[in-house]
């Protein structure tokens, strides 16, 4: 009890209150981590981080680089499910690039428009590439190309949120 009282009294030499204990710092760090987790969960319902409903999340591998597309376009959902089930040759995702990071595509500072996306068997070479190239030249890519359609994309995961 004496040690506890001593900590709450001002230091006789300096007149200042004692510094918080290590436990107080750990408690503060835990509270901040919890608050950050709650803020992240709440942000998933904002326009930049959609709550992922009424669509499918498709993840593609392009020469060892992964990126994901949340698809809400009904026709494209049918196309990507057919591809997943081995019933389609339309293997190239072709969609409009939008600047802005999203929760399901965190590695990149861009994403593909959920509605303006289709699966294709062939596309023009101009929109072919890898995600890191789009990232490195994002503003130019959006201004001149607009769409991303990697020819070597391989559908590696599909999750249904409908």
The larger pLDDT score, comparing residue 41 to residue 162, is at 162
- The residue with greater pLDDT, 29 or 108, is 108
How many C-beta atoms surround the C-beta of residue 26 within 10 A? 10
Residue in 73, 147, 138, 149 with CA at minimum distance from that of residue 109: 138
Residues found in the chain: 162
pTM of the model: 0.68
Domain map of the chain by residue range?
A: 2-43, 56-160
CA distances for 156 relative to 13, 58, 85, 150, angstroms? 66, 8, 12, 14
* Residue scoring higher pLDDT (4 or 112): 112
Q: Which element (helix H / strand E) includes 26?
A: helix 22-43
pLDDT value at 116 more than 70: yes
Q: Average the pLDDT over 89-112 and give the result.
A: 95
Judge whether residue 100 has pLDDT over 70.
yes
Helix (H) or strand (E) run with residue 120 in it:
strand 110-120
> Strands 110-120 and 147-148: what pairing?
unpaired
What pLDDT, in 10s, does the model give residues 28-69? 666 666 655 554 444 444 344 457 889 999 999 999 999 999
Burial of 76 (0-12, 13-18, 19+ CB in 10 A): buried
Label residue 27 by pLDDT band (50, 70, 90): low
On the question of pLDDT at 160 being above 70, the answer is yes
Average pLDDT of the chain is 83
Task: Specify the pairing of strand 110-120 against strand 56-62.
Answer: unpaired
Indicate left, alpha or beta for 73 from its phi (over 0: left) and psi (-120 to 50: alpha): beta
Question: How far, in whole angstroms, is CA 34 from its chain's centroid?
Answer: 20
């Amino acid at each position: 009890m004496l040690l506890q009282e001593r900590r709450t009294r001002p230091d006789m030499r300096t007149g200042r209150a004692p510094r918080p204990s290590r436990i107080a710092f750990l408690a503060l760090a835990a509270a901040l981590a919890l608050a950050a987790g709650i803020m992240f969960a709440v942000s998933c319902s904002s326009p930049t981080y959609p709550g992922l409903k009424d669509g499918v999340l498709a993840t593609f591998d392009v020469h060892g680089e992964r990126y994901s597309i949340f698809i809400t376009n009904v026709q494209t959902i049918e196309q990507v499910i057919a591809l997943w089930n081995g019933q389609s040759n339309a293997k190239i995702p072709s969609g409009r690039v939008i600047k802005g990071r999203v929760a399901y595509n965190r590695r990149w500072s861009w994403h593909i428009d959920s509605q303006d996306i289709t699966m294709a068997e062939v596309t023009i070479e101009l929109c072919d590439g890898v995600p890191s190239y789009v990232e490195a030249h994002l503003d130019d890519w959006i201004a001149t190309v607009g769409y991303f359609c990697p020819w070597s994309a391989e559908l590696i995961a599909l999750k249904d949120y409908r």
